[in-house]
A and B are shown apart, each in its own frame.
Chain A
Amino acid sequence: MSGFGQWAAMGGYAAFVWPAYGVAVAILSGITAQSWWRYRASRRGLDRLQGMSRGRL
């Protein structure tokens, strides 16, 4: 087995190690993306309202 293959096999524990890292990355990336999209949406909404209220003055 190649050096990379040996490392990826994780001494026979690959079926547990990689899913653990995958789950951690997926959950933490998911909450990061959700937080960021909501932040951008809130900024867009606020900018639009501020623009509307300035236009009315």
Chain B
Amino acid sequence: MISRLANPTRFMTASGAVLPVLAGATPLVLLVGLYLALIVAPPDYQQGESVRIMFVHVPAAIMAEGVYYFVALASFIALVWRHPLADIGAQAAAPLGAAFTLVCLITGSLWGRPMWGTWWAWDARLTSVLVLFFLYLGYIALANAFDDPSRGARAASVLALIGVVDLPIIKFSVNWWNTLHQPASILRAGGPTIDKSMLVPLIVMALGYALLFATLLLVRMRTALNERRARALQLATAPASPSAGASPVLR
């Protein structure tokens, strides 16, 4: 099915059908998630109401890592099989991953101040997430650094694959080193240690973030395909219309 959809025309048709559903479900799920997080979930017996930061911080952390896995997988497919949509998918996802990582870092800092007494510490978990943010920025910069987009895509794909080494460091940093950050309490062997009254809002918010990612990924991939089609059309009509090159959209 994936290889069938990897045809750009089929992808445009299929994504055009799915996009309205995703775009409608995303705000609904996020609003329910916010209601559960801010009103229904109880305060923590130790952290009090500050625990509500968890409902925007943890899903952002999950997405930050998850999106990087997606970028790396798409980069691998682009490098090995030269799939036409793989580069487009990876490049569409990277800014979204960077945005989730930034949300994770800032909300983590706002949670850390009242709980740890500091906005930031060069602790293994925090530092490895900061490295992930720089990996995203490096990927985006490298993909756009060459006149030939295919060379940029290839260089960025290599960086994405090298950067995968940061993901297990993020995951296991809290076990390998003595860190300020607490150990895993949700995605761990043996199941979550968090109470159901907090786990449900967390899952709903994570689902909302995932739907937002899927919606924006499709929108950005469709944008890239539109821009490529426009560029091809522009090249095809260039001899007859020398002024076409001045379009600000098509560069």
Chain B hits for A45, CB < 8 A: 226-227, 230, 247, 249-250
Q: Which of these binds chain A: B125-133, B154-162, B231-239?
A: B231-239
Chain A hits for B95, CB < 8 A: 31
Q: Which of B143-161 contact A (CB under 8 A)?
A: none
Q: Are B113 and A27 in contact (CB under 8 A)?
A: no
Q: Are B53 and A16 in contact (CB under 8 A)?
A: yes
Known: A16-B50, A42-B230, A53-B233. A27 touches B99 (CB 8 A): yes
**Cα A56 to Cα B57 with chains together (Å):** 54
Q: Which of A1-24 contact B (CB under 8 A)?
A: 7, 10-13, 16-17, 19-21, 23-24
Chain A hits for B220, CB < 8 A: 35, 38-39
How many chain B residues touch A (CB < 8 A): the figure is 43
Chain B hits for A10, CB < 8 A: 49-50, 52
Q: Are A23 and B236 in contact (CB under 8 A)?
A: no
Give chain A's interface residues, CB within 8 Å of chain B.
7, 10-13, 16-17, 19-21, 23-24, 27-28, 30-32, 35-36, 38-39, 41-46, 48-50, 52-53, 56
Give chain B's interface residues, CB within 8 Å of chain A.
34, 38-39, 43, 48-50, 52-53, 56-57, 60, 95-96, 99, 102-103, 106-107, 110-111, 113-114, 212, 216, 219-220, 222-223, 226-227, 229-230, 233-234, 236-237, 240-241, 244, 247, 249-250
With contacts A11-B49, A42-B226, A49-B244 known, what are 5 further pairs, Cβ within 8 A?
A11-B43, A38-B220, A39-B226, A46-B229, A48-B247
